[in-house]
Amino acid sequence: MDVIFHLLEDQIFYEYMEDLFLLAERYVVIYNSNHEEYTKWSEYRHRNFISYIQEKIRGWELYQYIPNRYPYKIGEEETTSASDFYIFKKK
């Protein structure tokens, strides 16, 4: 589920998002953080994907936002997460 975190190169991120919404018929569910930040881990990057969707992906709207029950806490990485659920619905 944590695919977007690992899309480090911009072009690969753009192509992935285009394909994700192009192939979906009614809903897209994304589990991810939604802010821009490079991390100390080279294989992990936060992205503000909602801004990208609003600017580049037509015909979809944010239908539901579900906050994480266990938000990220330093020192508790094994049991917490920086991600929330974002459900998009085709208009």
How does pLDDT run across 34-83, given as a tens digit for each residue?
988 777 777 788 899 999 999 999 999 999 999 999 878 888 878 878 89
Total number of domains in the chain: 1
User: Looking at residue 45, what is its pLDDT?
Assistant: 87
For residue 71, which of 84, 58, 90 has the smallest C-alpha distance?
84
Q: How far apart are CA 44 and CA 63, in angstroms?
A: 27
Q: Note down the domain range covering 60.
A: 4-90
Give strand ranges (E) for the chain: 27-32, 37-38, 45-46, 60-66, 84-90
